[in-house]
Chain A
């Protein structure tokens, strides 16, 4: 069974992007790593970041941001912090995804990119694996 069917995705656009990766021979993992961005004085994690995709053969993370602008800003700030830690992460915003989908006629991705989540999707809780 293709991995994109077996994986639980937080947003339809992530499922479609996984399918597109599969179709183009791009190996991916979904949310495999969590990066600690900030710790409190007692060592507890105050802020963490889990990129949506890891492309293991490229050593690169991909983060999709198709939600409300306010949440997008928060995500982009996290991405900047993660990059500051040396994490190679690319952001795919709504416009990037729509442009990609229209340019290459990826109809399902185009529709998914235009699907607006009413609230921020909750990530499934799982023990964080630090790379």
Chain B
């Protein structure tokens, strides 16, 4: 019987990790994340995305261009938000230009779940799926 895995590296809270919200048209939310998205930042990420959804956003874009590390807890937050938005006919799009970060999504098989965009413009202008 297995036990939870042990991370190979000890990680310390990142001091530069933060989430910023940028003004958008009604029905859209745009969040930018910076630094290391780990267990220290995941609750804030969840809260910010939740606030955007509660505020009526049907398209939420999370720009991960300035993210240097993401752990599975933060990935789980994004997954939960995507499921919540889908349940309302909405959509979560992720801007992931960094190959290192895309690698994490692919290894966790989440590239099958999320639509990953290379640019913010692409994420914001791509046609939305029909309801």
A111 to B99 alpha-carbon distance, docked (Å): 23
Docked-complex contact A25 and B38, CB < 8 angstroms: yes
- Counting from the closest, the 5 A-B pairs by CB-CB distance are A25-B71, A30-B2, A3-B5, A57-B72, A57-B76
Name which residue of chain A comes closest to B70, CB basis: A25
Name which residue of chain A comes closest to B106, CB basis: A100
B residues adjacent to A (C-beta < 8 A): 1-8, 11, 38, 69-73, 75-76, 79, 103-104, 106-110, 112
Docked-complex contact A55 and B108, CB < 8 angstroms: yes
- Asked if A18 is an interface residue, CB under 8 A from chain B, the answer is yes
* Contact partners of B107 in chain A: CB under 8 A: 20-21, 24, 26, 100, 104
Contact sample, A vs B, 22 pairs, CB 8 Å cutoff: A2-B6, A3-B2, A3-B3, A3-B5, A3-B6, A24-B103, A25-B7, A27-B5, A27-B71, A28-B4, A29-B2, A30-B2, A56-B4, A57-B76, A58-B76, A59-B79, A60-B79, A60-B108, A60-B109, A90-B112, A104-B103, A129-B1
Docked-complex contact B3 and A29, CB < 8 angstroms: yes
A residues adjacent to B (C-beta < 8 A): 1-4, 7, 18, 20-32, 55-60, 62, 90, 92, 100, 103-104, 126, 129
How many A-B residue pairs lie within 8 Å, measured between CB atoms?
85
* Contact partners of B106 in chain A: CB under 8 A: 100, 103-104
Name which residue of chain B comes closest to A31, CB basis: B2
A21 to B104 alpha-carbon distance, docked (Å): 9
* Contact partners of A30 in chain B: CB under 8 A: 2
A1 to B112 alpha-carbon distance, docked (Å): 32
A92 to B71 alpha-carbon distance, docked (Å): 21
Given known contacts A24-B108, A27-B5, A27-B73, what 15 new A-B pairs fall within 8 Å (CB)? A3-B2, A7-B2, A22-B5, A22-B8, A25-B70, A26-B71, A26-B72, A26-B104, A27-B71, A57-B72, A57-B73, A57-B75, A58-B76, A90-B112, A129-B1
